[in-house]
Amino acid sequence: MNEPVLEIKNLNVDYGLGDQAVHAVRDVNLTLHRGEVLGLAGESGSGKSTLAYGLTRLLAPPGVVSGGEVIYHPEQGEPYDVLGLTDRQLQAFRWAETAIVFQGAMNSLNPVHKISTQLTDVLAAHEPQMSSHSRNARAREMLKLVGISADRMDAYPHQLSGGMRQRVMIGMALILQPQVVIMDEPTTALDVVMQRQILGQLIELRERLGFSVIFITHDLSLLVEFSNRIAIMYGGRIVEEAQAATLYKDSLHPYSNGLLSSFPALRGPRRELAGIPGSPPDLKGMPSGCSFHPRCPKAFDPCADNIPVLGRPDTPDGATRTVACWLHPVQQTVG
Ligand code: SF4
């Protein structure tokens, strides 16, 4: 899992222009490796979804990518910057190389078209040379892969349960066998049992088909269970990144600790949920210095005036993780 498939370099996303611009994503550097599940966690408004929309160029105005690169490494051929693609190239890139499953995706299906039509439409747009028979066969195969009987091909969305509709959306995202799948809060609207079933199945499919996943959620407990690595966002910046097990056992950033203590422990004795005091920062008026300092139980002298840089901490496992906090001096900055 060391070969990169997507490299996000110094990505900045703003809403609005000039002095009025709100900086929603700031200097984000992240690498997704082949076959990996990279979790992205943070409270609402931390910039997770804006990052996903920015890197796939799906931002609606007044959102604008104001800087950075998103380097995609195809299976064959030279890497290229997604931000530099023409509209036609971008159309070919979406679904075929990178697919996204949106928040509330199960409500994104067109209510007046059968499931079969919605699945085969993707194939018709991207592989026009494919016969109608082959498209139908591929759609049936995809439904089976996501755990839906092929005889539901002719169902309308309202005839399926919420979990089944979400599976159809995942099937649609995978139908062209993209290398990268971005899941933006994919199971938030489902109950806990269904969430785990669908995510377990997604991980199984990833092992079989070999794609990589960026999995965005505010639910850190889900990420600990299903991700290889986790990046934590706060105020539009990455504040910590580590292997999932490392972050769970030994997170360094006080915000990561706060997020972890907001969910029940996966194992071991019951503990009281502590949560994080205060509210996420207003992006129009970010606090000075470390943007977490007004809520941080460990804030000290430098925190209110100086922004901590993201870098490799001076710890035995420092080569495999990053953090941005004045409590942890960094040896090498990232970005
Ligand atoms: Fe807390 Fe200071 Fe670290 Fe920010 S830099 S998380 S305020 S200790």
Cβ 326 under 6 angstroms from ligand 1: yes
The whole-angstrom separation of Cα 14 and Cα 25 is 7
90 lines ligand 1 (CB under 6 A): no
Closest to 182 (Cα-Cα) out of 97, 87, 263? 97
C-alpha pair distances (Å), 257 with each of 58, 164, 247, 249, 261? 32, 35, 9, 10, 6
Looking at ligand 1, which residue's alpha carbon is closest to its atom 8? 299
| Both tokens assigned to 95 | 């679904």
Torsions phi, psi of 182, nearest 5?
-105, 120
DSSP, residue by residue, 216-279:
EES-HHHHHHH-SEEEEEETTEEEEEEEHHHHHHH--SHHHHHHHTTS--SSSS-------SS-
Element (H, E) at 272: none
- Joined tokens for residue 21: 């611009």
Distance CA 279, CA 122 (A): 41
For a mutational test of ligand 1's pocket, the pick from 233, 239, 290, i.e. the residue with the most ligand atoms closer than 8 A to its C-beta, is 290
**Hey, which CATH number is domain 4-97+178-333, 3.10.20.440, 3.10.110.10, 3.20.20.70, 3.40.50.300?**
3.40.50.300
The two structure tokens encoding residue 143: 């439904």
38 C-beta neighbours (distance < 10 Å), count: 24
Q: What is the mean pLDDT of the chain?
A: 90
CA of 288 to the centre of ligand 1 (A): 12
pLDDT of residue 216 exceeding 70: yes
Nearest CA among 167, 166, 143, 170 for reference residue 154: 143
Nearest Cα residue to atom 7 of ligand 1: 293
Q: What residues form DSSP beta bridges with 28? A: 11
The finding on whether 281 has its CB within 6 A of some atom of ligand 1 is: no
Instruction: Name the percent of the chain lying above pLDDT 70.
Output: 97
pLDDT digits (tens, 9 = 90+) for 87-111: 999 998 998 999 998 877 667 889 9
pLDDT of residue 3: 93
pLDDT in tens, 157-192: 999 988 888 889 889 999 999 999 999 887 776 777
- Determine contact, residues 23/62, Cβ cutoff 8 Å: no
Q: How far is the CA of 235 from the centre of ligand 1 (A)?
A: 13
Q: What are phi and psi of 242, to 5 degrees?
A: -165, 170
DSSP 101: E
Residues 120 and 19: their CA atoms lie apart, in Å, by 46
pTM as predicted? 0.91
**C-alpha–C-alpha distance, residues 44 and 320, integer Å:** 27
Cβ(163) – ligand 1 distance below 6 Å: no
**pLDDT (tens digit per residue) in 231-284:** 999 999 999 999 999 999 999 999 999 998 887 766 666 777 777 888 999 988
* Alpha-carbon gap, residue 171 to 216, rounded angstroms: 18
Q: Is the CB of 296 under 6 A from ligand 1?
A: yes
CA–centroid distance, 242 to ligand 1, in Å, is 18
Q: How confident is the model at residue 219 (pLDDT cuts 50, 70, 90)?
A: confident
Residue 1 has pLDDT above 90, yes or no: no
293 Cβ below 6 A of ligand 1: yes
* Cα distances (Å, whole numbers) of residue 215 to 55, 199, 228, 316: 14, 10, 11, 28
Domain assignments of the chain as residue spans, ordered by start = 4-97+178-333, 103-176
330 in contact with ligand 1, CB cutoff 6 A:
no
Side-chain-facing half-sphere of 32: CA atoms under 13 Å: 27
Condensed to tens digits (0 to 9), the pLDDT of residues 285-334 reads 899 999 999 999 999 999 999 999 999 999 888 899 999 999 998 877 77
Q: Count how many Cα atoms sit within 13 Å of the Cα of residue 106 in the half-sphere of its side chain.
A: 18
